Amino acid sequence: MLPFLIRRALGAVIILLCISAITYVCFYAIVPNPALLSCGKNCSPALIHQINENMGFSDPIYLQYWKFMHGIFFGRDFPAFGQCNVPCFGYSFANQQPVWAAIKTSYPTTFSLAIMGAAFFLVIGVSLGLISAWRQGRPIDRVASSVSLIGQSTQIYFLGPLAILLFSYYFNQWFGWGLNRGADPTWTSDPIGSLNGMLLPALIMSVIFWSNYSRQVRSLMLEQLSEDHIRTATAKGMSKPYVFFRYALRGAMGPVLTIFGIDLGAVFGGAIITEYTFSLHGLGRLAVSSVNSGDLPLEMGVLLFSALSIVIFNVIIDASYALIDPRVRLG
């Protein structure tokens, strides 16, 4: 197990280095003069030169990348801003503040939304899929499959405003899912407020995910139930529930975990539509605002942090997959 984890960890490091290098080159080498984005329209040549010197844009691209990566792990000193503490992703063009400060402020909202959304789409999706497989061909199977198909066809930008109208306006006195709040509450600062504020966005965000999971689990379970070892276990007199949950479910969970790792990493990277629909100040909203303002350091920081989230959760899922199926460790 340990060699498997080491291989996965080394692969993750290589992937992150490649992503950082490609992203940096695309962001800074392709842009004719990044200092113009920081300076604005009414900018003099002297001010552009000063920004290039302060931000290090006058150095060769390979030296800029080296200083950027060094700043992430060891910090960096900027002539105009002073010392930038670890992890240093640079300074934002828009507000002249460290990029990490903006990410650190926005990430708790995305983290709360992702954890609750993942719990919803995994529990609801897997449960519906198991029910459909267990009662294959019965009315409940048709109902569950229809609900999953409708959920997969419905978009967040339609469900979100509809849910806000219903639960925050008409039924708010019963459910208390009000969305008129200031800063987004987090698990650490206000657990009850976070649960109340994130419950509806997480539930709506999970609809498309659990719809896909229910169909995937149903298909995988039916495939597992037709395997020879399942028929052998049934022929030996084992009960249907025991075979279903002990053998078929374990065989079907491997691909589900793989999909779950990809989806969870993507959600942690920032659920843009959900955050905009429910006015949440998370990574997705931060990414869009940085693109609109042409804030390259902030775009770079959010992208790398999102990539790090996706890679880390995929490594965790790979480790879980290896525990379920020992054959994976030999691959």
CA–CA separation, 85 vs 331, rounded Å?
Answer: 40
CA–CA separation, 297 vs 217, rounded Å?
Answer: 41
Question: Looking at the DSSP assignment, which residues form a beta bridge with residue 78?
Answer: 82
CB-CB contact of 255 with 216 (8 Å): yes
How many residues comprise the chain?
331
CB-CB contact of 309 with 265 (8 Å): yes
Residue by residue, pLDDT tens for the chain (331 residues) are 677 778 888 988 999 999 999 988 888 777 777 777 777 667 778 888 888 887 888 888 889 999 999 999 999 888 777 888 889 999 988 888 899 999 998 888 888 888 888 899 899 999 999 999 998 889 998 998 888 888 888 888 888 888 888 877 776 655 555 454 444 555 556 666 666 778 888 888 888 888 889 989 999 999 998 888 888 888 888 888 888 988 888 888 888 888 887 788 778 766 788 888 888 888 888 988 888 888 889 999 999 998 888 888 888 887 777 777 666 655 5
10 Å Cβ neighbour count for 61?
Answer: 12
The string of DSSP codes covering 237-286 is: T--HHHHIIIIIHHHHHHHHHHHHHHHHHHHHH--HHHHHHTT--SHHHH
Ordered structural domains, the chain, with CATH = 2-98 (no CATH), 100-330 (1.10.3720.10)
For 250-255, the CB contacts below 8 A with 24+ separation are 250/324, 251/220, 251/224, 251/227, 252/217, 252/220, 252/221, 252/223, 252/224, 253/324, 254/321, 254/324, 254/325, 254/328, 255/216, 255/220
